[in-house]
Amino acid sequence: MFDIDGYPLLRIRGRNLVELIFMLACLLDVPMTVLALTIIVKSTPPQMKAYKWIIINLTGTTFVTDFTICFLYDPIPLFPDIACYSKA
């Protein structure tokens, strides 16, 4: 697959079940964000026009943060603590 400085872009080998579930949740984030933005844009009533842009901004910022953490940092969870670290 694609490598960046010797690290694969999507690391699948060497992951345990928890890391694979975490990766699946990250992959599901992309279509769910697109669905959420579609619903926000098409279903917001005219009275909520000012709040629509706030919600779109919040959703977009959250998506960029999630994408950065999930795919660019390649987090490795540390259980039972609520913590992660990255080798990237």
Query: Is pLDDT above 70 for 88?
Result: no
CB 72 within 8 A of CB 86: no
**Tokens linked to 15:** 């992951």
Reported in sequence order, the residue ranges of the chain that DSSP labels E, i.e. its strands, are: 3-4, 7-8, 76-78, 83-85
The predicted-structure confidence for 9-63, as pLDDT tens digits, reads as follows 666 677 778 778 878 888 899 899 999 999 999 999 999 989 999 999 999 999 9
Nearest C-alpha neighbor of 67 from the set 29, 40, 36? 29
Annotated domain spans of the chain: 28-72
pTM of the model: 0.69
